[in-house]
Structure 1
Amino acid sequence: MSYESLLAEQVPELLEQADLVVLDTRDPHSFAQGHLPNAKPADEANIARLIRGRNKAQPVLVYCYHGNSSRDLCRLLGGFGYTQVYNLEGGWQAWVSFRDRQEVSLSASTG
């Protein structure tokens, strides 16, 4: 496999990496409604720019709605030599669920 699947709980640590590229494969409307920090739409221009990039060790996180269609882009990037490609297992839905659990936990501990 040319990529690694991550659970939403593992993403915050990855987001701390300064050189991380985050690609959102969802439609523009969904992206506008909310996305991961520093995410870019996985449009043709952003993908082409990434593929032409020289730093194939740069970490790349890809996500979609449920974590299925983003796997195709992960495989593509791995095929172009990227060595740190991650797919968000469960996609945006898993991230929102994780984020909501964190907010409830935080408010319970401060309330």
Structure 2
Amino acid sequence: MVAFQDLDPMDLQRLLQEGDDNLVLVDVRTPAEVARGAIPGAQSIPLHLLPLNARLLDKGQPVVFYCQSGARSSQACMYLQQQGHDKLYNLRGGIMAWARSGLPIAPMDERAP
């Protein structure tokens, strides 16, 4: 059974606009991919480093993962689900779908962990 939900870009945009301060947006792409741009407000945790950094994500907070196309972020959701997280979301189609929807992409905020 899949416990995480897929969001389309407009669903995610709506959540971000609602300003839920608890929502955590995580980009699981490689640093080279992130350097080409990210969804504003995202933090970067490359997928291969997620096991080392999972403790940084509060199990009580909703977490939205995204990658280039949605495959790696789906893996991130499955991994954290196994670690006891239950408020997990995957951006269907990844940042490519986000960009195709005309939504903003910006340089990664270097202050984010």
Answer yes or no: same fold by TM over 0.5: yes
Cross-structure match for 2:76 = 73
Q: How is 1:29-44 mapped onto 2 (pairs within 5 angstroms)?
A: 29-43=32-46, 44=49
- Structure-1 residue corresponding to 2:14: 13
SS in 1 for 2:68: coil
Paired with 1:56 and 1:27, the residues of 2 have a C-alpha distance of: 24
| Residue 59 of structure 2: aligned partner | 56
Which one is further off, 22-31 or 57-66? 22-31
Greater helix fraction, Structure 1 or Structure 2:
1
Displacement, 1:95?
0.4
Two-structure CA RMSD over aligned residues (Å): 2.1
| Structure 2 unpaired stretches of 5+ | 105-113
One-letter code aligned to 2:74? R
Q: Aligned residues, how many?
A: 99
**Aligned partner of residue 87 in structure 1, secondary structure:** strand
Q: Which amino acid aligns with 1:69?
A: R
Question: What is the distance in 1 between the residues matched to 2:51 and 2:40?
Answer: 18
Residue aligning to 1:87:
90
% same residue? 31
Unmatched segments (≥5 aa) in structure 1:
103-111
- Give 4+ residue runs of structure 1 displaced > 6 Å after superposition: none
* TM-score, normalised via structure 1 length: 0.77
Q: Which string of whole-angstrom CA distances, capped at 9 and with x for unpartnered residues, describes residues 1-47 of structure 1?
A: 12100001100122221121111111212212211122111232x66
Decide which structure has the larger Cα Rg and report it: 1
The separation in 2 between residues aligned to 1:39 and 1:63, in whole angstroms, is 9
SS at match of 1:99: coil
Give, as a single letter, the amino acid of the residue that structure 1 aligns with 2:55.
R
Q: For residue 111 of structure 2, what is the aligned residue in structure 1?
A: none
